[in-house]
Amino acid sequence: MRINTMIDEYRRLLRLAERDKKMIKDKLTKLDRRRTMTLQKRIHEFHDEVFAEVDCLKCGNCCREVGPRIIEPDIVRIAKDQNMKKNTYIAHTMVSDEDGDWVFKDCPPCPYLGENNFCHIYDVRPRACKDYPHTKDRDIHKRLKRLAIDTQYCPAAYLIVNKIIEEFKP
């Protein structure tokens, strides 16, 4: 049986994120103009604080609701892991989306999402999965509008954004 559950606490956070959607968008849009290295450094620190507490195996919502954009090195790595030639792997598992990016067929939910939110290709998973919600990215302080959207899917992103708003008071 495939059981992909999200604990009640994370559901509650996503409900709060939905309630706060407009406020988050407005405040991060204002803050997006600052783009300082202090902002970047603090977001990275908030990421570490939040992910020290959040357990992705008790969530799995990005795998269920978002789905990764896949780049060439991801395809090469996953195809090798699956003992397939790159083009065969692409033909079997991938399509290009409206922006011309590679994505998994019929995703979301991701076809590699397994029981209890385990990823069947965890060790070779796409870079986008590893980095989500991108709050450790070098340019995160220039991508706050995207982060506002991710609060609607990722409880950790919502907690990080709350810390940003509380400290920077945009």
140 is a site residue for ligand SF4 (CB under 6 A): no
Q: Give residues 65-84 in contact with ligand SF4 (rule: CB under 6 A).
A: 68
The residue (of 32 and 153) whose beta carbon lies closer to ligand SF4 is: 153
CB closer to ligand SF4 out of 34 and 57? 57
Check residue 54 for interaction with ligand SF4 (CB under 6 A): yes
The single-letter code of the amino acid at 101 is D
Q: Any alpha helices (H) in 20-154, and if so which ranges?
A: 21-31, 37-51, 61-65, 72-81, 86-93, 127-131, 144-150
List the structure tokens of 71: 């780049």
User: With respect to ligand SF4, which residue has the nearer C-beta, 30 or 96?
Assistant: 96
Q: How far apart are CA 42 and CA 126, in angstroms?
A: 26
Q: For residue 10, give Cα distances in angstroms to 19, 59, 140, 167.
A: 14, 7, 23, 23
The CA–CA distances, whole Å, from 114 to 35, 49, 111 equal 38, 27, 8
Q: How far is the CB of 40 from ligand SF4 (least distance, A)?
A: 19
Q: Is 161 in the site for ligand SF4 (CB under 6 A)?
A: no
- Please give the Cα distance from 143 to 67 (Å, whole number): 19
Binders of ligand SF4 among 9-48, rule CB under 6 A? none
Q: Which is nearer to ligand SF4, 2 or 138 (CB)?
A: 2
Binding to ligand SF4 by residue 165, rule CB under 6 A? no
Q: Would you tell me which residues interact with ligand SF4 (CB under 6 A)?
A: 54, 56, 59-63, 68, 110, 112-113, 119, 121, 125-126, 129, 132-133, 153-156
